[in-house]
Chains A and B, each alone.
Chain A
Amino acid sequence: MAKKQQQPKLDANGERKQRSQFGEAWHRMKKDKGAMLGLAVVSILVLVAILSNFLLDYDTDVVGMNTKERLQAPNAKHLLATDEYGRDILFRILYGSRYSLSVGLVAVAIALVAGVTLGAIAGYKGGAVEEVIMRFTDIFSSVPNMLMALVVVSALGQSMLNLMIAIGVTSIPQFVRITRATVLTVRNQEYVESARAIGLSTPQIIISHILPNSLSPIIVQTTLRVASAIISASSLSFLGLGIPAPNPEWGSMLSGGRKFIRDYPYMTLYPGLAIMITVLSLNLLGDGLRDALDPKLKN
């Protein structure tokens, strides 16, 4: 056990320590079956999202309607059936990965930037600043996420951006808390003090010394939050507050197909499975990362 413990001697050089820490984590994660599976699926999804833009023509393949071929069962021409407007469900799911993933990623990016900044400031500065930030965080986090997103979207109006903002805003408190907690644990470490001693400014210290050392929990949280953002988007679609038609976001495909669920389950089955597999993989990946990045759990 002691053999693999990272050497605290390298602390002064944040860069090197970080690399070795993640190398170590990667080594551990490779052994985690669930995590590797999650990583593989997520990589494929990202690839699909990028490639679908080149392989599919948005106007004809994705939103172009052909009502003569509506509501078909899976067949040679439409491998995963067609929807109520005769659009190919497979194409829409492939292209929809762009929307679903970007809703997840952008929403979490919003939360990440806002949350980490506020959390780092709160943790590093302390005092009144911290008190104010944490009280605001309390306010945001004590309203149930779904209700908050619901209120925000119905007030701002429906658009992809507003959806991302609504979901992003509800995730901010988590990031503030995590960042602050980790910053608190590292801010009095020797290397931070030495950085301060050589005259680095506060933002410089936070960005180059404190944040890199708080990365692990933030990475884990980001992975899990992307997953829950995709679920939130589908829930909002169910309530009629999803992204505007005719864009093939999975959640809106799923909720749009629910009135056909009995006679024509394909319209819900495939987008539902797409969501399920994505969320599952992201969660497995997140869990794996958590295990791998947590030095306590080393075997």
Chain B
Amino acid sequence: MHRYVLKRIILLIPVLLGVSMLVYCILDLAPGDAADILAPDDATLEEKEALREELGLNRPVLVRYFEYMWKLLHGDLGESYLSPVSVWSAFTQKAPNTLKLGLASVIFAVGTSLPLGIYAARHRGSWKDAISMILAILGLSMPNFWLGLLLMLLFALRLGWLPSGGADMGLRSLILPTITIGTGMMATLTRTTRSSMLDVIRQDYLRTARAKGVTEEVVIKKHALKNALIPIITIIGTMLGGILGGATLTESVFSWPGVGRLIIDSLNGRDTPVVTGCIIMTTMFFSVVLLAVDLIYAFVDPRIKAQYASKSKKGGEKKDGEKAATA
């Protein structure tokens, strides 16, 4: 068990190195750099060159990358090119907002998808099933920014119930962006709930329960759901892992001061350290949450624990299979 955790954590290192290198070097291909953004309109080419020198932008990308890496290995995410702040503080300032929004969205998605998925499974093949699935997919089929704008027009402008943007009105500012993101998550979660319920519903012990005269309600709630929960938890875990990087558009539409908007703004400003730093943090968050979810299972389900103990490779295969199912 410990060895497994250790292996997963060690495997994280090449992933983070790879991600940072990938992002840092791809960004360098983009036309323009931070000096272009920073220099005023009337700066001469010489002045721009001096600025480039000051920022260290005139050296080859690999040299810059290795310098960046060296600092990173010492736990330093570097400084923003444009802003007089460190990447770490820029990130930590925005991350709580995004986490809050992401968490709320996942809760919303779980709250709506589980009932919908169970309902669909119980009426498999009927039009009730079809309608439930269509409802679940609807949020995913509308581009986020469009859905967000429509919600804003209806609930903020027309009805005046909710603020149109910002993060400073507490729970009320949270509602619209949460729905916008949450509905997009519903499809996957409902789908998984439905199919894993279908898997369980026909198991023998449920038949036995039914035969014993237990009502359908109790069968579903007490027996089926409990056993269908594992794949559902996997999906929820993947969703939780993705919340840091998954709110980009919604944050823009609702002026939500989060990580996604920071990344987009920094991308437009060619602020490579901030973009790379934020993506590294997002990636790390994703991997750590997934690891945590895996470990939680192991405690919940003794069968899986036994698997980890026997051969770690088998555990890895299982995870891949599950991931495939989530997609």
A–B contact via C-beta, under 8 angstroms: yes
> A residues within 8 Å of B by Cβ?
31-34, 37, 135-136, 138-139, 142-144, 146-147, 150-152, 154-157, 174, 177-178, 180-181, 184, 217, 221, 224, 227-228, 231, 234-235, 238-239, 251, 254-255, 258, 261-262, 268, 272, 275-280, 283-284, 287, 290-291, 296-297
Per-position contact with A for B129-145: 1 when CB-CB < 8 Å, else 0?
11001100110111111
| B164: interface (CB < 8 Å) | no
B-side contacts of A251, CB under 8 Å: 143
| B327: interface (CB < 8 Å) | yes
User: Could you show 10 A-B contacts with beta carbons less than 8 Å apart?
Assistant: A33-B130, A139-B18, A139-B22, A142-B287, A143-B245, A151-B23, A174-B323, A251-B143, A258-B146, A261-B149
Cα-based distance from A291 to B191 in the complex (angstroms)? 11
Listed residue (A234, A262, A275, A287) with the most chain B CB atoms within 10 angstroms of its CB? A287
A-side contacts of B146, CB under 8 Å: 234, 254, 258, 268, 272
Cα-based distance from A157 to B31 in the complex (angstroms)? 8
Q: Using CB atoms, name the residue of chain B closest to A32.
A: B125
Q: Using CB atoms, name the residue of chain B closest to A232.
A: B143
Question: A-B pairs with the 8 shortest C-beta distances?
Answer: A144-B245, A279-B141, A139-B18, A34-B130, A155-B29, A234-B143, A155-B30, A178-B324
Q: Please give 16 more A-B residue pairs, beta carbons under 8 A apart, in addition to A37-B130, A177-B320.
A: A33-B125, A34-B134, A139-B22, A142-B287, A146-B245, A147-B279, A150-B267, A151-B23, A177-B323, A234-B143, A235-B248, A239-B264, A258-B146, A261-B149, A272-B146, A279-B140
Per-position contact with A for B306-327: 1 when CB-CB < 8 Å, else 0?
0000000000010011011001
| B286: interface (CB < 8 Å) | yes
Whether the pair A287, B242 counts as a contact (CB closer than 8 A) is no
| B283: interface (CB < 8 Å) | yes
> B residues within 8 Å of A by Cβ?
11, 14-15, 18-19, 22-23, 26-31, 125, 127, 129-130, 133-134, 137-138, 140-146, 149-150, 153, 187, 191, 195, 198-199, 242, 244-246, 248-249, 252, 263-264, 267, 275, 279, 282-283, 286-287, 317, 320-321, 323-324, 327
Cα-based distance from A221 to B191 in the complex (angstroms)? 14
Listed residue (A31, A277, A279) with the most chain B CB atoms within 10 angstroms of its CB? A279
A-side contacts of B198, CB under 8 Å: 297
Whether the pair A156, B141 counts as a contact (CB closer than 8 A) is no
Q: Using CB atoms, name the residue of chain B closest to A144.
A: B245
Cα-based distance from A178 to B18 in the complex (angstroms)? 22
Whether the pair B30, A154 counts as a contact (CB closer than 8 A) is yes
A-side contacts of B244, CB under 8 Å: 144
Minimum C-beta distance from B116 to chain A (A): 13
Whether the pair B19, A143 counts as a contact (CB closer than 8 A) is yes
A-side contacts of B283, CB under 8 Å: 142-143
Cα-based distance from A31 to B127 in the complex (angstroms)? 11
Listed residue (A136, A146, A268) with the most chain B CB atoms within 10 angstroms of its CB? A146
